[in-house]
Amino acid sequence: MSKSPTGKIVMMQGNDACAEGAIWAGCRFFAGYPITPSSEIAEYLVRKLPKIGGTFIQMEDEIAAMGAIIGASLAGAKALTATSGPGFSLKQENLGHAVMAEVPCVVVDVQRGGPSTGTPTLPAQMDMQQARWGSHGDHGVIALSAASAQEMFEQTIRAFNLAETYMTPVILLFDEIVGHMTERMVLPEKGSVEIVNRRHPEKSPDKYFPYEKTENGIPILANFGTGYRYNVTGLCHDDSGFPTNDSKKIEANIIHLTEKIERHRKDIIRWRELYLDGAEVAVFAYGGVARSARRAVKECREAGIKAGLFEPTTIWPFPSEEILDIAGRVKAFVVPELNLGQMAREVELAAKCRAEIHKVNRVDGDPITPKQIVDKIREVV
């Protein structure tokens, strides 16, 4: 992410910034279903996409929207859907199909409170683990977060780039705080943003195997209708794309789906740090909560308390190595979240008992204030 982008200064809502980012990334297909607090993304794209030759469709349900973007992607379009908690639950089966069939696409989840209908208009971060384990079966997952409208724009572009690079669905775990916040942002200059496009097979159709691994371990799927006739399935398959019952091939298939993400952790994992050098307490915060956390650590430093911030912008794969490293240097982690500790679990696992873990949780629909975080830091030191 560029630190201080130059370009056109605009006021934009986070959800609109996400939609605009999708267009910049080359997204030309959107299928969705109305759900608060993500609907602005659909409402933005329905107006923009047909003007640039793209397609928007409001499907009959969330499941259909997920299916439609997989179909569109296989036909060659960069494709997006957007939803929130209940819709994200409904999408899980087809999300697993995209994982299994290695179809690039992007799924936005502007989180609200759950379970069930929960709190449609209030902020929460309750789908963090659903993004990791919501669909059945073992597989790797890429999920990103954002703390500003600017970052929703940039992370949406990055999500498409990662999807095309690793041939996988990428999840954008946003939250209502940022999604519905209108603020200043910079639309970069045209051509200044890196865009990754899908690779096309170089082999002739008779020598082509859709799931054959290339030099980076990632397959190349030809677009439908380009002369490469192959099979796509959610069944365990071999390199040819056809179902298999061969135990060795099944094992290779499943291990690949995790390994292809894990092997590229260094490329995928990104984070920001604030005052972490010499910190006694490290705050781990993401999304809308990170904004309060930044203020909190600044206030602490001003008061002479050695607090720092680790702000992951990649949620999955989880930055375990980075957390372990910090754990060896700090007394404790403070993990503020709009859930009951979904990512604190991961921090605790990664820290391997080298640092204490203290949680700050809020599930009443209100944001976490800087003061709540400061109070916890004071208590810990």
Partner 1 sequence: MFNYLDYVREKNLPHIWCSGCGDGIILKALIRSLKKLGISKDEAVMVSGIGCASRTAGYIDINTLHTTHGRAIAFATGVKLAKPNLHVIVVTGDGDATAIGGNHYIHAARRNIDLTVLLYNNFIYGMTGGQVSPTTPRGKMASTAPFGNLEPSFNIAGLAQAAGASFVALGDVYHVQQLDKLIASALQKKGFSVVEILTPCPTAYGRRNKQATPVDMMNWLKDNVVLKDKLDKMAEDEKAGKIASGVLWDVEKPEFTSEYGKLIARLKTEKQTKE
Give residues with Cβ within 8 angstroms of 201, minimum separation 6. Answer: 208, 220, 222, 228
Nearest to 287 by CA among 115, 162, 131: 131
Considering only the stretches 26-34, 146-154, 275-283, 332-340, report the one whose residues sit in contact with partner 1 under the rule CB under 8 A. 26-34
CB nearer partner 1, residue 71 or residue 86: 71
Single out the residue of 32, 67, 104, 114 in contact with partner 1 (rule: CB under 8 A).
67
Single out the residue of 42, 68, 142, 290 in contact with partner 1 (rule: CB under 8 A).
68
Give residues with Cβ within 8 angstroms of 297, minimum separation 6. Answer: 274, 275, 283, 307, 308, 309, 373, 377
Single out the residue of 5, 7, 26, 76 in contact with partner 1 (rule: CB under 8 A).
76
Q: Which tokens in the block code for residue 78?
A: 């960069």
Distance in Å, CB of 99 to partner 1, minimum: 12
Are the beta carbons of 231 and 74 closer than 8 angstroms?
A: no
51 lines the binding site for partner 1 (CB under 8 A): yes
Burial class (CB in 10 A: 0-12, 13-18, 19+), 151: buried
CB nearer partner 1, residue 49 or residue 147: 49
Single out the residue of 229, 352, 371, 378 in contact with partner 1 (rule: CB under 8 A).
229
Single out the residue of 209, 224, 271, 275 in contact with partner 1 (rule: CB under 8 A).
224
Q: Output the CA–CA distances (angstroms, integers) from residue 77 to 26, 41, 94, 111, 146, in the order listed.
A: 8, 18, 17, 26, 25
**Cis peptide preceding 115, ω within 30 of 0:** yes
Q: Which tokens in the block code for residue 246?
A: 């061969």
Considering only the stretches 48-56, 166-174, 288-296, 352-360, report the one whose residues sit in contact with partner 1 under the rule CB under 8 A. 48-56
CB nearer partner 1, residue 50 or residue 328: 50
63 lines the binding site for partner 1 (CB under 8 A): yes
70 lines the binding site for partner 1 (CB under 8 A): yes
71 lines the binding site for partner 1 (CB under 8 A): yes
275 lines the binding site for partner 1 (CB under 8 A): no
Nearest to 369 by CA among 282, 272, 299: 299
312 lines the binding site for partner 1 (CB under 8 A): no
94 lines the binding site for partner 1 (CB under 8 A): yes
Angle at CA of residue 223, ends 265 and 219, nearest 5° = 30
29 lines the binding site for partner 1 (CB under 8 A): yes
Are the beta carbons of 61 and 86 closer than 8 angstroms?
A: no
Considering only the stretches 73-81, 261-269, 285-293, 315-323, report the one whose residues sit in contact with partner 1 under the rule CB under 8 A. 73-81
Q: Which tokens in the block code for residue 115?
A: 């379970």
Which residues contact partner 1 by CB under 8 A? 28-29, 31, 50-51, 53, 55, 57, 59-61, 63-77, 79, 93-94, 97, 223-227, 229-235, 242-243
